[in-house]
Amino acid sequence: MFKLSPSLSARVSSLFAVHFFGYGLFLPFFPVVLEFEGFSAADIGFVLGAGTIARIAASPALSNLADRTGQRRWSIFIYSILGTAFIALFAFGNGLYVLGAGVIGYMVFKAPVLPLSDAYALDAARNTGADYARMRLWGSAGFVAATIAGGWLATDETIWAILLLIGLASFFTGFVVMSLPRQSGAGDVGVANDDSLEAPFRSIWFWPVLMLMGLFQASHAAFYGFGTLYWQAAGIADQTIGILWAIGVVAEIALFTVAGRIALRFDPPVFLIVAGVAAVIRWGLFPFADALWSMVALQLLHALTFGAAHLGAIAILAKVVPSRWAGTGQGLLATSIGLQMAAGLSVCGALYESNPDLPFYVMAAVSAVGTLGMFALTPVVRQRMASSAVD
């Protein structure tokens, strides 16, 4: 059973921090690692593309397996250790097949770690009154620290250190999660056999809402895929670009710091609607931001376009998905984001070659559609959240 204590909050915060430290090294710098390992651009694209497809498929399946066994902590531990083992292949082999298997295996087994960590943190917040957002902000802080460290280490002489740190981050994710208390009711046979608890997954209303929650994150596709290239083409120095990216994450952390108080006044659908409106503004004005102050202003909106969208989606799932199936719900959200992000990147890539401004206008239009859709579905979402609270 959970007990509210600074120690519990600190350990959950550490879980997010160490996981995102590894992710902050992997996401931006692993293509550089593969290039130094002798991979061609086509090889890098193939391996990371295959890993992304495998990750999208693995996230809900492995999260659901953890929920069905009722062993959420042990699942995170096992998945993290397996992720470490696949990264270790870089120390023992070379060539496309061995190292490609290492990359894909790592991506598969790290895929469910964040959904399951979110599920654990939400249970801790629900049972003890801990502030989920304040625990989650340490993940963002870990990501920023990793990008700074990776920038210093992404050279031919020190690339081994990036691999080592990614492996250690995965290993210590497993170490930290096993320091957490077991969740009350996890693995309860009576609960596991109650098919009614699989709702809302069997309800029609759940799937368009899940799609919309993923869409708000996928509206970042143009920026994640081509934002840096767009700024470079505009003559922005690389150091300034790095600062602009950091400003967005710092703004996100600032929102997480005060989100608990804001949530007392506004419910989760409002968070998503505000995120959608902010995205329309951010992406619609992105091509017009030709001065540094305007770029900074739009980057500050990351607190809403990402942070508010994330908190709104997490809160809705926490309300409508029974605790027993929280990992599955978070895994499905990750899949919704992944599928739509992959589609968005593909579309934006084709548009960018034609006109670099077009992807951002399309993302603004997508955000507008998502906002209208969320506004229309808000009464249903509120009704379902209220009925779940009563149940």
Residue 188 lies in a domain: no
- CA dihedral angle for residue 319, residue 375, residue 335, residue 386, rounded to 10 degrees: 10
On whether residue 189 sits in a domain, the answer given is no
Does residue 190 form part of some domain?
Answer: no
Same domain, 229 and 338: yes
Distance, in Å, from the CA atom of 166 to the CA atom of 154, rounded to the nearest integer, reads: 13
Domain count for the chain, please give it: 2
Burial 110-140 (b: 16+ CB within 10 A, else e): bbbbbbbbbbbbbbbbebeebbbbbbbbbbb
Q: Are residues 85 and 112 in the same domain?
A: yes
Q: Going by C-beta distance under 8 Å and a sequence separation of 6 or more, which residues neighbour residue 233?
A: 356
Model pLDDT, residue 389: 61
Q: Quote the pTM value.
A: 0.85
258: domain CATH number is 1.20.1250.20
Are 11 and 133 part of one and the same domain? yes
Per-residue pLDDT of the chain (391 residues; tens, 9 = 90+): 455 566 899 999 999 999 999 998 988 888 888 888 888 878 887 888 888 889 999 999 999 999 999 899 999 999 999 999 999 999 887 788 899 999 999 999 999 999 999 999 999 988 888 899 999 999 999 998 998 888 888 888 888 999 999 999 999 999 999 999 987 544 333 344 444 455 678 888 999 999 999 999 999 999 988 888 899 889 988 778 888 888 999 999 999 999 988 887 889 999 999 999 999 999 999 999 999 999 999 999 999 999 999 999 999 999 999 888 999 999 999 999 989 988 988 898 889 988 999 999 999 999 999 999 999 999 999 998 988 764 5
User: Does residue 174 fall inside a structural domain?
Assistant: yes
- Which of 183, 211, 230 lies at the terminal end of a domain, its last residue? 183
The CA distances from residue 264 to 260, 271, 382, in Å, are 7, 12, 15
Do residues 155 and 13 share a domain? yes
* Domain-ending residue, one of 183, 215, 239: 183
How many Å from the N-terminal Cα to the C-terminal Cα in the chain? Answer: 21
Given CA atoms 330, 204, 207, 279 in this order, what sign does their dihedral have? negative
Question: Do 16 and 117 share a domain, yes or no?
Answer: yes
**Which pLDDT value is given to residue 110?**
96
DSSP code, position 175:
H
Write down the pLDDT at residue 350: 87
Q: Are residues 102 and 214 in the same domain?
A: no
Range of the domain at 45: 1-183
